[in-house]
Amino acid sequence: MMDLDSKNILLKMLAATNKVLNDLNIEYWLDCGTLLGAIRDNQLISWDNDIDLGCWKTTNDYEIKQELKSKFEELGYEVFLTDHYLNIHLKDHSDLNMDLNFYTVEIDHAVTPSSSLYPYLNDSWSKLTNHMIKSVYNGKYYLKRYSRAVRLLFKLVLWLHNVLFSLFPSKLKSKYLNALIKLRKKTSNHKAEVVPKIYFEEIKFIQTLDGEYPIPEEADSYLHYRYGENWRTPVQNWDTFSEDGTVR
């Protein structure tokens, strides 16, 4: 269960994120477990150690994320970026996180890989593609799990890749990243969270979580869609991959 200090850290992160996103005119909404706690309990779920928010991915996604990264780092947060989410946390409290999930529109649905992506990166091409995407967004290499020889090879390949990427004009950067994302999807055949986009087209504001925050207009219906007809009954041992109605 979450103690009071942890709860206050998460609420402070939420308030900071709200200000940053509003200052940059980025529309967002409470999502997933954070929305569930706000609607059902008017507080954070006591065993949930992160804040979940949603927003739309835009055509200038790379530039927006770099601006967000700069703003959050100025506030003292550590930042991790990728194509489908932004994560912030404090160095001394890395177990407490704020995740901003980016949705793309595919016909009538809002789609984000979210955490459903990673179990499917099980071959060399999908792993390499995902590393290329992460290193471009962050300017870092996440290779601790590999042997020394593999790390050295990866670093060389990714460094060369990032140098070339930095020379691209802005519009080409976005197109190139989208091509990498499509390649990763094709090579990994990964799952994603798929939500009828109508749930996110109308947003309203409510008083909750020590502030005024945006939520989907039809929040109850959305939570029913994601968590099932018994969504008002707390379930601590929830498995996203097998129980979340959006994963497909």
* Contact yes or no for 172/188 (Cβ under 8 A): no
Question: Which residues on neighbouring strands pair with residue 81, listed in sequence order?
Answer: 86
What are the b/e assignments for 88-118, b being 16+ CB within 10 Å? bbbeeeeebbbbbbbbbeeeebbbbbbbbbe
- pLDDT, one tens digit per residue, over 202-237 is 999 999 999 999 999 999 999 999 999 999 999 988
Q: Residue 137 contacts by C-beta under 8 Å, 6 or more apart in sequence?
A: 62, 65, 81, 82, 83
**What's the pLDDT band for 1 if we cut at 50, 70, 90?**
confident
- Residue whose structure tokens are 């009538």: 108
Q: Residue 174 contacts by C-beta under 8 Å, 6 or more apart in sequence?
A: 59, 60, 61, 62
Lowest-confidence region among 8-22, 96-110, 112-126: 112-126
Q: What is the mean pLDDT of residues 43-65?
A: 95
9 vs 101: CA distance, rounded Å? 20
Helix axes 219-227, 32-40, angle to 10 degrees: 120
- pLDDT, one tens digit per residue, over 162-177 is 999 999 998 899 899 9
* Contact yes or no for 140/93 (Cβ under 8 A): no
Percentage of the chain exceeding pLDDT 70 = 100
